[in-house]
Amino acid sequence: MHLAELSSRQSAQSEPQPWWKGAVIYQIYPRSFADTDGDGIGDLKGIERNLDHVASLGVDCIWISPFFTSPMRDFGYDVADHQDVDPIFGTIGDFDAVVAKAHGLGLKLIIDQVYSHSSDQHRWFGESRSSRDNPRADWYVWADPKPDGSPPNNWQSVFGGPSWTWDARRGQYYLHNFLPEQPDLNLHNPQVQEALLEITRFWLERGVDGFRFDAINFAMHDPELRDNPPADAGGKRTRPFDFQKHLYNQSHPSIALFLERIRALVESYGDRFALAEVGGERALQEMHEYTAGSRRLHSAYGFDFLYAERLTPALVAQSAAQWPADGGVGWPSWAFENHDSPRAIPRWCKPQHREPFARAKMLLLGCLRGSIILYQGEELGLTQVEVPFDKLQDPEAIANWPQTLSRDGARTPIPWRSDAPGQGFTSGDPWLPFGEDHHQLAVDVQQADPNSLLAFTRRVVALRRRVPALRWGTMNVVEAGRQKLVFERAFGDQRLRCTFNLSDDEVPLSPHNGSLFRVGDVLANALGPFAALIEEV
């Protein structure tokens, strides 16, 4: 049976589903997408002008990383004004134009929201630090020193060093789980929650279709300020943060109750979407808590694949099993790459296997149960860039050099035209260097090649959109060996078997009724290195 026939027959059986369920979401990192004013930094006009490329992939939605007013100590995740656009990215009018263009192309649009902390340049923090009795005195987390003048407890920041910085104005310490320039908001304060909900409403009124909530499990702390216990022995430790179990500086049970308020507000605007980013040693438990029932967030994603050293059948099987369709847990989302993690291709395969692996990886992502996230440049197969120390921008990598892998290597600009100055990204000097091989992977080069990874990505996204079993169906892992991964996706009376060879050796194959979609060599009874096969069963 041809794929088109199968899709048409099954679509007629499908009940309406929310647009976000099983959606393909394309992440745009604004600094590195497209620059229109020659300053070497991407901007909102660059997003608007290049949305046709994103729409041509067939994706359902774009997610735009922070573009808000910010001193850029953490490149937009230190927000100084939640309701305005930083001048380096443009104006609020430019954002409105992006929304209009996206909707005109049939794309939904979600944006980041950073609610656990703000910039120290935010007017709220300026008022809060001015005295102990001003109207916003309790909008951030302040604490007196111990009798010897040391910080209130032993909490350590993600970026290195204590989570507490002394402020002479108040004669107290303030909490920051990240940079000292990112003071933690006190979400135990009802006024802070109301202010954040007003920010949510502001962007909903501007037409956004939802939000990705950054590091949301850091949103509330233990008010008793109890010390974190030491972490168990073992594992790589490059920062003081790694030496603790993070029981009290984050992950307070009341976070889930605040998320219920967010969900209620978001859904009052109709068919909207709320997605949580959750990391840490208790990420799975917290993702389940944050998506439980129908009153909390719609979906969550963690770092199952983002920091994995290898892509193995066991990893896929374990991750899928953690989100059973009938287990009373929420809807998962998955990403293999993003702005915080290394590019997947050099992380997961040897250089000589890059091309077949890139296709197998893309098809695997397209076959997973859940919503999936493509990071800009992933459709081109961009590789991780080794950014030299003198060109690093990432504050975490600079502070922990050379032990922490720089996030900059995955944040480098998109190569749009192979032979243009600035590879079509900018007419000036790009804020980060291109990879040595990125001109060969440029959009214009791949656009002209029907066998490129870009063309293949379009076929994978089209397959997922057409076939209900891949978009909404259950997932049952049949085999997860050292090399071969086999799972079935089912929806209604449609059942597909997805077989992947995640190694560079051949693996045995028992074909069923013929291929609906395949990548790589399929021999008589064997699947070639990094090959895959989807069949109807």
Q: Which residues are catalytic?
A: 214, 277
CA–CA distance, 213 with 66 (Å, rounded to integer): 11
Closest CA to 368 of 22, 17, 18: 22
CA–CA distance, 432 with 412 (Å, rounded to integer): 5
402 cis-preceded (ω within 30 degrees of 0): yes
Measured CA angle at 256 (ends 252, 258), to 5 deg: 100
Place of tokens 């995955």: 410
Closest CA to 532 of 359, 371, 379: 359
Closest CA to 184 of 151, 217, 147: 217
Closest CA to 60 of 527, 299, 315, 372: 372
Whether 156 contacts 162, CB under 8 Å:
yes
Whether 139 contacts 120, CB under 8 Å:
no
Q: Across-strand partners of 486?
A: 479, 499
Whether 197 contacts 262, CB under 8 Å:
yes
Whether 275 contacts 283, CB under 8 Å:
no
